[in-house]
């Protein structure tokens, strides 16, 4: 029986898939370039999004990778863990260097742990969290659909229209005008998140009802990327944590396919 909570296309790229990256990829540590390449590969270690595999020959002068003596088997094949040294800076376990037995195109390349480097760039634009998948599409469309948001029977928002954000592999998100949200019920939090496709959030809000605390139910992007400019200043709620009605029809709460859930399903 199909999962009735799924209202969006699924992910289509299998773990272990490898494709060329047609973009210039660079990264920094301490303001110094670690690598600069036009010969990177996308490598999918899980279906949600890829990582970059960077040719070792494109590491900057003075950048050293030292073998940590640990071998791991990632989805595409075996790799050996390395630490990164650039000047006086050392980042332990910063990279996996693909070993014999991995796809031929990956041998002689390194997959850097994203948070081991300070800043990543595609061409001249900084990229956050992880590489943008060439198979992911994000569309923000104005809609006449009304949206009602409730938690524990309390109405948090009631909007006559919305902007629907469609992102491959994720539930549809409904962005609402701030004037349609009951701000007397919400409290700001210090949470900030980043998205490769939408940018950095400008706010998160939580809701407390009785003894129940529902943390970080809603968020906003005041300054999203150009591709998602239609949601600027609007507020969205996690479908997974609230009760949503769209055009008067209650939606089931979806179950998000996180990397951790994917690993459990394929353990």
Residues facing 65 on adjacent strands: 84
Q: What integer pLDDT is reported at residue 267 of this predicted model?
A: 39
pLDDT of residue 13: 86
Residue 143: predicted pLDDT: 98
Of 248, 182, 199, 237, the C-alpha closest to 215 is 237
pLDDT averaged per 10 residues in sequence order, the chain, 267 residues: 60 89 97 97 94 98 95 93 95 96 95 97 94 94 98 97 94 97 97 94 95 95 94 97 97 72 46
> Which pTM value belongs to this model?
0.85
Among 74, 202, 240, 45, CA closest to 133:
45
Return the pLDDT at 210: 86
* Residue 259: predicted pLDDT: 56
């Amino acid at each position: 029986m199909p999962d009735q909570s799924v209202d969006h296309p699924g992910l289509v790229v299998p773990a272990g898939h490898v494709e060329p990256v047609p973009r210039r990829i660079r990264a920094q540590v301490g303001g110094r370039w670690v690598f600069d390449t036009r010969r990177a590969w996308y490598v999918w270690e899980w279906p949600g999004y890829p990582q970059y595999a960077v040719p070792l020959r494109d590491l900057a002068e003075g950048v050293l990778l030292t073998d940590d003596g640990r071998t791991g088997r990632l989805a595409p094949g075996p790799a050996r863990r390395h630490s990164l040294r650039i000047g006086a800076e050392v980042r332990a376990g910063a990279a996996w260097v693909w070993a014999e037995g991995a796809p031929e195109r990956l041998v002689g390349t390194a997959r850097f742990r994203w948070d081991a480097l300070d800043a990543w760039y595609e061409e001249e634009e900084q990229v956050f969290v992880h590489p943008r998948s060439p198979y992911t599409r994000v569309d923000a469309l104005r809609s006449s659909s009304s949206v009602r948001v409730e938690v524990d029977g309390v109405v948090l928002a009631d909007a006559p229209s919305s902007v629907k954000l469609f992102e491959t592999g994720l539930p549809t998100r409904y962005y609402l005008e701030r004037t349609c949200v009951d701000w007397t019920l919400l409290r700001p939090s210090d949470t900030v998140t980043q998205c490769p496709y939408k940018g950095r959030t400008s706010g998160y809000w939580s809701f407390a009802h009785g003894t129940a605390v529902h943390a970080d139910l809603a968020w906003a992007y005041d300054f999203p990327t150009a591709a998602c400019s239609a949601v600027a200043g609007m507020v969205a709620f996690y479908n997974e944590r609230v009760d949503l009605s769209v055009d008067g029809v209650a939606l089931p709460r979806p179950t998000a396919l996180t990397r951790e859930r994917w690993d459990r399903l394929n353990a």
